[in-house]
């Protein structure tokens, strides 16, 4: 567990791995249906029982009339749960920088609304920076985020898709108010090493006492080994992207498979353990109990330095990379 403390505030302990809930409520990309809810509650319970107590969501998660569905489900599941590690549950949401969310008060109200949907809110995060397109919008939204902490409505605040320059800027802005940054989320995986290898974000996070969270650590499923050049692709946008990346990433997938066979682990488990070895907290998604069980199989052991180096080389030499988030700053 990574503990992040402030003298006057509760300590937040982040586990080695969390659970991302982007798919919970998303029909467009992940094919969510409300008939899946009972299975998702099983996923939640199994994760908490096994020490995966961080659940990441967003107030924009859920498509159409299901907007906010992910938060609602997490609220329902966390309130119903009565098993081990209940006291360690940490619900984190990301507040969207919508074009119509313009003021400090609007951001604080968004956090309060998320807290109502979930029944609690441990970490409130800025979903993405607006520096690349509406730089004037960002300051008020960050101030509203910090207000949630000052008012005791959250235990911590975090950021997502920030690069080192903007991270330092926010860190200084918050430090002047005595508001620590708990975490920074970036897209990080063997298909997206950019945040560490090119931006050097891990070193900056370590310097500032911020835990780095890796979202999409399985490359939207490409690193699980389920999809290859000759296998059926998922429908919709993911399928289009997968066809673009394959076969350029095949050498990386071959290396991943070889390490998995040697370790008697799955490719997904190797990918997640690699993220952990890099000092990040991966938050893979899980739509069913089997996926949750596979994810948790990445815990309790470590790749050797030689294996990590081998995977690093394969990732660096790959002809294709995962598309970067358009909001990611430097």
On whether the CB atoms of residues 155 and 183 are closer than 8 A, the answer is: no
The Cα–Cα gap between 183 and 50 comes to 22
Phi, psi of 19 (to 5 degrees): -130, 125
Where do the DSSP E strands lie in 28-144?
54-58, 90-95, 123-126
- Catalytic center residues: 61
Q: Which residues of 178-208 are buried (b: 16+ CB within 10 A; e: fewer)?
A: ebbbbbbbbbbbbbbbbbbeebebbebbeeb
Closest of 97, 122, 99 to residue 110, by C-alpha: 97
The Cα–Cα gap between 65 and 279 comes to 38
Phi, psi of 185 (to 5 degrees): -100, 135
């Amino acid at each position: 567990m990574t503990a992040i403390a402030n003298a006057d505030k509760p300590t937040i302990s982040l586990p080695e791995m969390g659970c991302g809930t982007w798919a919970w409520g998303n029909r467009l990309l992940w094919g969510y249906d409300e008939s899946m809810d009972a299975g998702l509650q099983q996923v939640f319970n199994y994760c908490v029982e096994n020490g995966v107590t961080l659940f990441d969501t967003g107030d924009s998660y859920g498509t159409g009339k299901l907007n906010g569905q992910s938060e609602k489900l997490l609220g329902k599941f966390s309130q119903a749960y009565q098993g081990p590690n209940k006291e360690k549950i940490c619900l984190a949401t990301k507040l969207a920088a919508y074009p119509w969310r313009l003021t400090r008060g609007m951001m604080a109200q968004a956090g309060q609304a998320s807290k109502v949907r979930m029944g609690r809110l441990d970490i409130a995060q800025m979903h993405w920076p607006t520096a690349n397109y509406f730089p004037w919008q960002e300051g008020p939204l960050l101030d509203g985020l910090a207000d949630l902490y000052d008012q005791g409505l959250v235990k911590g605040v975090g950021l997502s898709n920030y690069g080192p320059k903007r991270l330092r800027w926010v860190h200084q802005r918050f430090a002047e108010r005595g508001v620590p940054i708990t975490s920074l989320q970036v897209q990080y995986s063997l298909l997206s090493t950019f945040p560490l290898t090119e931006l050097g974000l891990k070193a900056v996070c370590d310097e500032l006492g911020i835990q780095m969270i890796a979202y999409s650590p399985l490359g939207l499923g490409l690193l699980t080994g389920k999809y290859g050049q000759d296998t059926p692709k998922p429908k919709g946008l993911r399928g289009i992207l997968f066809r673009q990346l394959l076969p350029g990433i095949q050498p990386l997938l071959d290396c991943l498979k070889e390490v998995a066979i040697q370790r008697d682990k799955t490719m997904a488990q190797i990918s997640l353990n690699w993220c952990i070895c890099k000092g990040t907290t991966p938050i893979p998604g899980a739509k069913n109990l089997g996926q949750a069980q596979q994810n948790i199989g990445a815990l309790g052991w470590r790749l050797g330095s030689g294996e990590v180096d081998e995977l690093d080389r394969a990732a660096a030499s790959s002809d294709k990379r995962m598309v970067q988030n358009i909001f990611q700053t430097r």
